[in-house]
A and B are shown apart, each in its own frame.
Chain A
């Protein structure tokens, strides 16, 4: 009888001790994981450097009116590149304007300048050489020093075509440059042209 009581007492004690040990282990499971699994609870820092790139691209890089002349009965011809382009008073081919895109990953300031004036580009009596910068995508050119979509005289002393911010966002990174030319009948002859310089400066 005594041995049975002893065994019973031992079994109950063992069960209670097991429960206590189980409870203690369960409540400290987090620490246990920390010790044996390397589970980290601190905060770390990930560093990554993305290099900046300033880049622009003339996606439409040619305005080619081809060969032509002022038509009989007209004193001058008008060539405009707005839209798909129009020609009146002459037989040149209509052409549309240039498209300039910011293909980098940083905003830039943009300045557009020309290499000639109407007199040494076209010549003759009352030639007209005008340039117009407008957004292809809304918001591409912001903080401009000029009015977008308006024609200005293109000459070498005109330095007002500045976008203080030409954006790189893919939905707002594209500009259009249009031209308005008047070719008088007594203009310069031969192959006529000019150089438009787009200067993009990282901000």
Chain B
């Protein structure tokens, strides 16, 4: 029977005449809640369409506070959103409202892409009582540096906050420094950025912890970890056994303790016994701050064999790190491999013969019965 198979035309997303690109700005708008206050946001909309309409919409629990001057846009148009804050917002903290645009897919049997873009309006409603939010930032540095400290605090509670922030710096749990800022009084939704510097002259290289505890009824803590570096690159590992008989890789794994870029880092490797000495240099690399990398050199082991004293001298920015150890150059023991494989083969053969004999014996017994 001849089957009638009709043609099927399948298209996803026609190209010409459809919106394939859509954007909205500002994407994020932040408001500190104040009853009855009115905000007007001017939105710019970008699309690649020449003639397709773009629909404007609002989503979220607070969508009722928004008035749009347009619900549908022509290409190239923007719109205004007027937000009138209610008398109160039940939920403390961040309340999200979405104002977005979407392309209108073409009707009538053809297909189109639909893109929906939502910008977010974050409305901060104060927490009852005392509540602070903020952050502390201390960047990594090097011994002798002056590190900028930034503390940002915003009062998200309904009560005024009066405090004097003091940042303590810890190394291994011990306080090694303090920075005290001026006293401040913050009303609801008021914020303050505190900035100062920490001179780490005399500080040891290592890991540090900065913390500020603000006493505002209860403790509010902001902290940050940071590192103080020194001009030192560590050798963390190196190849200790190399195969004899050709050009072989020799790796040196290194780790930077410097908070800066180090150009032209390379290792000089010297392998020696009482009778001979062999030297090679690895290609150089660039080490980024605190980075770990592997230097790879090549050594011709054709004429080398046995145990060698190794001296690895790592060179960087006029400094050196020297590591001593042992390197073994061995040939692959083919005789042992052959014996091992032969032994396995003989064992397998013995097992097969025994199994065969056992099977035959059982058969003989059955026949006799």
Please list the residues of chain A having a beta carbon within 8 angstroms of any beta carbon in chain B: 51-58, 61-72, 79, 92, 98, 103-106, 108, 179, 181, 183, 185, 187-203
**Best-surrounded residue of A65, A106, A202 (most CB of chain B within 10 A):** A202
**A51 to B29, alpha carbons, bound, how many Å?**
9
Residues A67 and B98 in contact, CB atoms below 8 Å apart: no
User: Which residue of B is nearest A181, CB measured?
Assistant: B10
Given A61-B18, A62-B14, A92-B10, A54 contacting B23 (CB threshold 8 A): yes
Residues B115 and A193 in contact, CB atoms below 8 Å apart: no
Residues A106 and B27 in contact, CB atoms below 8 Å apart: yes
With a cutoff of 8 Å between Cβ atoms, the chain B residues found around residue A98 in the complex are 12-13
Task: Tell me which of B105-113, B157-165, B174-182, B268-276 binds A.
Answer: B105-113
With a cutoff of 8 Å between Cβ atoms, the chain A residues found around residue B105 in the complex are 195
Closest Cβ of chain B to A113, distance in Å, is 9
Closest Cβ of chain B to A84, distance in Å, is 16
User: Which residue of A is nearest B5, CB measured?
Assistant: A69
Q: B237-271: contact bitstring with A at CB < 8 Å (1 yes, 0 no)?
A: 00000000000000000000000000000000000
Task: Tell me which of B117-125, B137-145, B183-191, B284-292 binds A.
Answer: B117-125
Please list the residues of chain B having a beta carbon within 8 angstroms of any beta carbon in chain A: 3, 5-15, 18, 20-28, 46, 48, 98, 100, 105, 109-120
Closest Cβ of chain B to A45, distance in Å, is 10
With a cutoff of 8 Å between Cβ atoms, the chain B residues found around residue A187 in the complex are 8
Majority secondary structure of chain A interface residues (helix, strand, loop or mixed) = strand
**A183 to B114, alpha carbons, bound, how many Å?**
24
Given A62-B15, A69-B5, A69-B8, A198 contacting B116 (CB threshold 8 A): yes
The one of A65, A103, A105, A194 in contact with B21, judged by C-beta atoms closer than 8 angstroms, is A103
With a cutoff of 8 Å between Cβ atoms, the chain B residues found around residue A79 in the complex are 10
Residues A183 and B8 in contact, CB atoms below 8 Å apart: yes
Given A57-B20, A57-B21, A202 contacting B27 (CB threshold 8 A): yes
User: Which residue of A is nearest B2, CB measured?
Assistant: A72
With a cutoff of 8 Å between Cβ atoms, the chain B residues found around residue A52 in the complex are 25-28
Residues B115 and A58 in contact, CB atoms below 8 Å apart: yes
Residues A185 and B21 in contact, CB atoms below 8 Å apart: no
Residues B9 and A66 in contact, CB atoms below 8 Å apart: yes
**A198 to B100, alpha carbons, bound, how many Å?**
13
The one of A72, A179, A196, A199 in contact with B113, judged by C-beta atoms closer than 8 angstroms, is A196
